[in-house]
Amino acid sequence: MPVASVAIAVQDISPNIGSRVETDIETLLSGRHAEEIRSLLKSRGVLVFPDIGMTDEQQIAFTGTLGNMAFENNGTVGPDGKQQTIYTVDAAQSDLQAIRRLRNNQFWHLDGSMHEMPIFASILSAKRVAPTGGETEWCNTCAAYDALSDEEKEGLEKLRVVHANWSLARNTNPEPTYEEFLQSRRGPSKSQPLIWKHRSGRKSIILGSTAAYVEGMDPLESLDLLVRLRDWATQPQFVYRHEWKVGDMVMWDNTSTLHRARPYELNSGRLMHRTMLKGEEPIA
C-alpha cells in the first residue's frame, strides 16, 4: 500500500490482515487523519503503531478523535465515582475472577458477542510485557468468509448460534460445582446469526469461545461445525501475531476479527491498557 499521507506512512503486514502505521503522537492527536485511520482499520482489521509510547491521557484523547468512546465494564462507576475509560489488563494472583478473565482471553473471541451491538474497535497499549509468551493474535473473519465456497456460504448464512456466558465459563472451570454452574448460567446468553451481514456489504463469521451451539442442530454436528470453522478462520493466512514491546499500541476492528492472547505466566507482571470505541452497527 502506498504512503497514506505526508504525516502517516502505512505498510501492509500480510495480504489478508494487518498494517503497520508509522507516525507521531502529535499527528494522531490532531485528528486530521481520523477518517483515514478508520477507513484503513476497516479494510485491514488490525493497525500497529510500533513504539508510539502514548500516556493514558494521550490514548484517551486519540480514541476520542476516532469516534464515541465506550466505557469499560458497561459504564459501571468505579471507586473514584467515575466511569472507566482505561481498562488495565492484568491480575493479582489472589483475584480468582481476574485470573479467569485473563485465561479466557487466551481463547479466540469477539468482544460483545452476547450484545446486540458489539464495540466497534479496541486500542491496546503495552506498559509491561511478559518475559515469554503473551503475544496477541487476530484473525480476519471477513477474509475467512470470502475464501469459503459459494455453496458453503449459502448454507452458513441460514444458521444461528447461541453465545452464552456458561460456554465461556467452562473453558477455565470445566468441572464447576452446581452453584458455580448456576451462577454462569445466570449470565448473558444471546442467539446471533453465524454470518454477520454488515451494512457495507461485507460479511464476517461470528465464532469464538462464547459460541455454545448451533440452533436446531445435533449437538455433535454443531460442535463439529463450530470447531471446523474456527480452524478455518484461524489459518495462518488470516492471522496476525503481534510480539509486544513496551510502548507499542495496536488497534483492531472488533466487528471483523477474532483475537486471543497467547499463554504466559499470569504473575509475570504483563500489563496492558485498553480503550474502546462504541459499536455503530448491530449484528444482523
Q: Which of 283, 133, 117 is nearest to 195 (CA)?
A: 283
Q: What percent of the chain has pLDDT over 70?
A: 93
- Structure confidence by residue, pLDDT tens digits, 95-151: 667 777 888 999 999 999 999 999 999 999 999 999 999 999 999 999 999 999 999
Residues 216-223: what's their mean pLDDT?
98
Residues 6 or more apart in contact with residue 211 via CB below 8 angstroms: 113, 161, 162, 163, 167, 226
Higher-scoring residue by pLDDT: 283, 81: 283
Q: Where residue 7 falls among pLDDT bands split at 50, 70, 90?
A: confident
Task: Cell 504512503: give the residue.
Answer: 3
Across-strand partners of 125? 249, 273
Q: Where do the domains of the chain lie? A: 9-277
The per-residue pLDDT for 2 is: 42
The per-residue pLDDT for 84 is: 81
Backbone conformation region of residue 31, classed left if phi is above 0, alpha if psi is from -120 to 50, else beta: left
- Structure confidence by residue, pLDDT tens digits, 161-217: 999 999 999 988 899 999 999 999 999 999 999 999 999 999 999 999 999 999 999
Read off the pTM.
0.93
Across-strand partners of 239? 139
Residue 48 near residue 12 (C-beta atoms within 8 A): no
Topology (CATH) of 9-277: Double-stranded beta-helix (3.60.130)
